[in-house]
A and B are shown apart, each in its own frame.
Chain A
């Protein structure tokens, strides 16, 4: 009895303290943002940093371990203190990059990001904490950096970099770091750097791989020299779809910080004209030699056609975010909403739910009654999978009442792959590989199911 009472008392105490903690976190979030200026309509006007003749006693102590490096020394540290760096993207690359630049004593950091902190960011975007979920990443990063080094001036820009604002902004900084996550922004940043005459330290990461190089430095190639044409939009994978390990973006962000520091301190970068490839699975770095600057480059060539910034979303055929694209492959009649599917499920109407996500995602969460065949298997017409599907359809027909429609509902994470799968199943029934059956997909997929139908279903 006594033990039972203690359990109840402890449970009540835990609940009380959890409530207190959550209210403290909210107050902290509000207080952290209080430190910030309101979001400016236009980019903040920043004046050039004054040159610096000597280090203070505090600065000497703080930076002593790097000051005794002969390659850097007092001279290099003074250059860092008067250097300004524009960081485009405060995500997996931008966070560690900004952290090391602030710690090393770079004078001013411009922090560009239009996005807000989400829980799925925290595993790799290490400047943002739980308390600031939902707040602008630019402000969250600035607050975090100020706590790290109050002498560094942090200028948050909680807006997307656009062709209208990019050139003006880039001109106010000495070095630019591309930590963005989409193709249009990469071309935009490159062209702005070429037009403004700024070196660009560019990195990217996906899955277990990373790449870093320096563009437009001392006669070296720019991004367009190497990639004159953007990739087809359907070949570009974002971190949400492809996955990425936080340590991999961390390694690349740190390498980027190293290149920025060497440029800012006057030591010169290592990866101008070369590209470092990092394979985290094999633990392997490989440096490859890139082409020289191209005389016929549209941006940095002898007769450039890019003389001002253009519409990069149109040029790339994709939007300047890394949000998942919504495909429209099917007509509205071939699609149902999660609400419709929920009603159908509750009514007990016979049907087959086909989940076409990869196995690794099914391991995260699934609807228990779904049959699972990955899209990849359907695309390659895997005989084993088609046999499984054929049997499930025949079984459904046996159970269904006479004259009842045979239906397959296809579901995936967001409602893109499910449309591709419907197309394939339609081909297979037309070719009589499968018995005749109506195939539709569920709009918005399992993430819509989690958002609208079942709040306990995991989102990822």
Chain B
């Protein structure tokens, strides 16, 4: 049984517009059998923070192309992507790439 976790979830680069413009969310994830990983976190975000147009954030079981996931300021690719196991007080940032110039 994994204990509840407190993590900071942030949306930037326009992704926050899917979350009512709110960029920072202090999130408490309830205790559960399995350890929390990014895969579960995405499901939790989909069910608890995202009300509309989920396809603009999630496609399949991962984020849509063009969104970069950063775990404590590092590219999630360096840390196992969906399988990364969340630690208490982690900072997870979802950022959309910008294209304007």
Contacts and interface: CB of A to CB of B under 8 A. Distances in A.
Interface of A: 89, 91-94, 178-183, 186, 203-207, 209-211, 226-232, 234-239, 242, 244, 249, 275, 277, 279, 286-292, 322, 379-380
Interface stretch (B29-37, B39-47, B71-79): B71-79
Interface residues of B, number: 25
Contact of B78 (A183, A289, A379): A289
Contacts of A203: 101
A288 B74 contact: yes
Nearest to A256: B101
Contacts of A94: 101
A244 B95 CA distance: 17
Contacts of B68: 226-227, 275
Contact of B100 (A178, A204, A277): A204
A445 to B, nearest CB: 21
Contact of B14 (A182, A226, A242, A289): A242
6 contacts: A186-B99, A226-B68, A226-B75, A235-B56, A289-B75, A290-B75
Interface in B40-95: 51-52, 56, 64-68, 70, 73-75, 77-78, 93, 95
A239 B100 contact: yes
A290 B93 CA distance: 13
Contacts of A379: 52
Contact of A289 (B13, B74, B93, B99): B74
Interface of B: 12-14, 51-52, 56, 64-68, 70, 73-75, 77-78, 93, 95-101
Nearest to B14: A237
Contact of A209 (B12, B52, B70, B73): B12
A380 B98 CA distance: 26
B70 to A, nearest CB: 5
A243 to B, nearest CB: 9
A291 B75 contact: yes
Most chain-B CB neighbours within 10 Å: which of A91, A178, A204? A204
Which of B51, B52, B65, B99 has its CB near the most chain A CB atoms (within 10 A)? B99
A196 to B, nearest CB: 21
Contacts of B13: 206, 209, 211, 277
A286 B93 CA distance: 12
Given A231-B66, A288-B70, A380-B52, A204 B12 contact: no
B73 A289 contact: yes
B75 A206 contact: no
B101 A92 contact: yes
Contacts of A236: 66, 99
A182 B78 contact: no
B99 A183 contact: yes
A234 B53 CA distance: 12
When A and B form their complex, which 5 residue pairs have the shortest distance between CB atoms, in order from nearest?
Answer: A231-B66, A229-B65, A291-B77, A204-B98, A206-B100
Contacts of B56: 232, 234-235
A179 B12 contact: no
Given A227-B65, A288-B74, A209 B98 contact: yes
B101 A277 contact: no
Contacts of A178: 101
B78 A206 contact: no
A289 B51 CA distance: 31
Contact of B101 (A242, A249, A288, A290): A249
Most buried by A among B51, B98, B100: B100
B97 A322 contact: no
Given A235-B56, A286-B73, A242 B78 contact: no
Contacts of B96: 231, 235
Contacts of A92: 100-101
A180 B100 CA distance: 7
Contacts of B74: 288-289
A181 B97 contact: no
B100 A244 contact: yes
A380 B51 contact: yes
B64 A235 contact: yes
